[in-house]
Amino acid sequence: MITVRRYSSTVPGTPFRIVYGLDSLSAFCWVAPKTPNASGAGPWFADALQAAAIAAGSLPAVNIKGPASTLASFAWFNAGTAGEDCETFRTNYGGTIAQSIATKVAAFKPDLFIPFLGVNCVQHSVSDGNCTTNHAAILAQTQAQCPGCQIAVPGPLCIQENWPRGANPFDTQLDAKDTIIRTTAQAAGAEYIDLRTPMFAFEAANNPGHLAILGPLTNPDASAVHPNDVGRAFLASVMLSHFQFA
């Protein structure tokens, strides 16, 4: 369970600091606080987390973000890059995981890091061996460079939405990446968040036509990987169950 507090322990006197990355789920702000000009109804995970914190008394229900919002806010930092997989995360910011974490994560002095990876690793055919090495290094370097930082690690969601598990062409590969993410997260003492098990339960109840594309959770892109408004609410509800407030 991740414990969220009102104030940062890494930068005292500032709001609790959350870095989210690393792929397009972050880069395109499907996780970030919703802004007035953003399309769709949400809720973004950030808004759901902040609303829950207000309800728990961990954030004041006052406007500290200015006219754009009536919610108090944690400090959110977007470390996402569209198309990123664990190999390009290693190579794009100096050639090592240590340099990548220093540039994309540690620079923001996070109290919490939420890395999204897995779907692009399947789409780009990153080997399971490289994923195992890279994911373990991402967590180890975060812990080494950001002492006290909590880490919440969601597994991959989907590439297409048919059900049951195994009905989509990439399910076997996604499940292999999910196992790597779960195993490396648990070995590092991080919080693993299973998205695929509740996704298939949701699909069974809400996708009677077995749609792979234009299903209930994702946008109509070629791969059906990015959440629509219902998908954002689904992600928020699943992820939120792993958080508590102090």
- Where do the domains of the chain lie, and which CATH numbers do they carry? 2-245 (3.40.50.1110)
Dist CA 23 CA 36 (whole Å):
23
Those residues whose C-beta lies under 8 Å from the C-beta of residue 159, and which sit 6 or more positions away, are: 119, 122, 123, 168, 169, 170, 174, 223, 224, 225
pLDDT at 59: 85
pLDDT in tens, 192-219: 999 999 999 999 999 999 999 989 999 8
Q: What is the predicted pLDDT for the residue at 41?
A: 56
pLDDT of the residue at 42: 60
Do the Cβ atoms of 83 and 26 come closer than 8 Å? no
Given this model, what pLDDT does residue 68 score? 43
pLDDT of residue 32: 63
pLDDT value at residue 169: 96
Q: What is the pTM of this model?
A: 0.92
- Which residues of the chain are under the pLDDT cut of 50? 37, 63-70
